[in-house]
Homo-oligomer: A and B are copies of this chain.
Amino acid sequence: MSSDDDASAVAGTTPEVARTPLTATLENGLTIVYEAMPWLPSVSATLVLPFGSVSDPEGFEGAATVLHEWMQRGAGDLDSRALSDALEDLGVRRGGGSSRESSSLTASFLASELEAVMPLFASMVTSPRLDDAEFEAARELAVQELESLDDSPAQRLFDELLAAFVASPQGRSPYGTAEGLAALTPALVREEARRNLRPTGAVLALAGGADWDRVLAAAREAFGGWQGDGVNLPGVQVGKPGRRHVVADSAQVQIGLAFPGPKPGTDEAYVHNVALNVLSGSMGSRLFTEVREKRGLVYSVSAFFRTLRGFGYTVGYAGTTPERADETLAVFLAELERLSEGVTAEELERAKTGMLSALVMQGESSSATAGRLAADVFNLGRARTLQEITAKVEAVTVEDVNEYVATHRLPEPTIVTLGPARVAAGVAQ
């Protein structure tokens, strides 16, 4: 029904205005990054902590997601309800989640409330109560979210794809496992809090309508007393490529593929991303045209670049009927292969225009901007300026792309399909 253009361009920019992220590192190791958007009445904050399913102790998979829920249920002098009420009295809109390598808390609020919001926001990581009384409800929600995956075949596919593609613990599901969640105790998750809720390696990114002096003072006041060393995350290791079919009680077939490279933030990554936007990323892109428009094979198809810390990979996705699964996968792989023959100048310009346009739109939002800054510092070690991202995309030439695709043949992808058993003979041989 919906046909939103799901471009996977780099996030957020406004080329017309010089918007330079300002960075500071507190004595305790917390990195603070801020981009002023003075025309906005709001400020958005994203706090990223370097823990997730990757850091869960063996046998206790799901500890991170339970900790992420539990730590928001009361902090400092405030019990769960009082903390929630205090944030809502200030009009704070909250979000966040726990993923593979990181867990985040987000908040958007009026700039005038900055000094009132920061101490409450910080308290969830600096002094979470972790009351016994709240533990079971936090675990129970995690169990339900895990169980609800059974009714979300696309989400299950991504979990299975990453499990097959990544050999290191980043391949674990952020939802945990039934056994891991059942084995958790308050004492064990408190120990995870002690290990993981630390300023070293954490990133606090903000964007919006306040000035840097105020932001830094409020952040320092709220987070300055936080202490402790962070945990080192393991590097990403890729598994052996191959094909796998996961039998699921679904009507449709979900097709996923993944292959590694290049390293995020490098010039090669910009070239790769532009090439990928010729393939996917808009309604006129090759995949959409060949798979969806011409053949009507799928209801959804896309390819996009994703990052783990210091590691980039490409994911392809298609959702289709069991009858069309084989042909869809074949066309998808053929289009990936055909990229090596090069792109036209027209295709390149169109892909770049789309990426630059997306940068402008996303750059209009304070929450998208805070998220981009946090991801940059977490994944690349520094926040890029919008001008830098824009200039890097603009600088990619058709020669760059064609030399890149000619010399970087498609690595053998990991392919995972998920759907009824009867397709197993076909797509999943």
Q: Which residues of A does B touch, CB under 8 Å?
A: 1-5, 7, 14-16, 39-42, 65, 69, 72-73, 80-81, 84-85, 87-99, 108-110, 136-137, 140-141, 144-145, 147-148, 150-151, 153-154, 174-175, 249-252, 282-284, 289, 292-296, 298-300, 319-321, 346, 349-350, 353-354, 356-358, 360-361, 364-367
Contacts and interface: CB of A to CB of B under 8 A. Distances in A.
B39 A39 contact: yes
A2 B89 contact: no
Q: Is the interface of A mostly helix, strand, loop or mixed?
A: mixed
A44 to B, nearest CB: 9
Contact of A358 (B85, B93, B137, B292): B93
B289 A89 contact: no
24 contacts: A1-B65, A1-B97, A1-B98, A1-B99, A1-B145, A1-B174, A2-B96, A2-B97, A3-B97, A5-B95, A14-B41, A81-B289, A81-B293, A93-B354, A109-B357, A137-B293, A141-B299, A144-B321, A147-B251, A147-B252, A151-B251, A364-B364, A364-B365, A364-B366
Contact of A153 (B151, B252, B282, B292): B151
A260 B313 CA distance: 49
B42 A88 contact: no
B150 A360 contact: no
Contact of A96 (B3, B293, B360): B3
Contacts of A4: 94-95
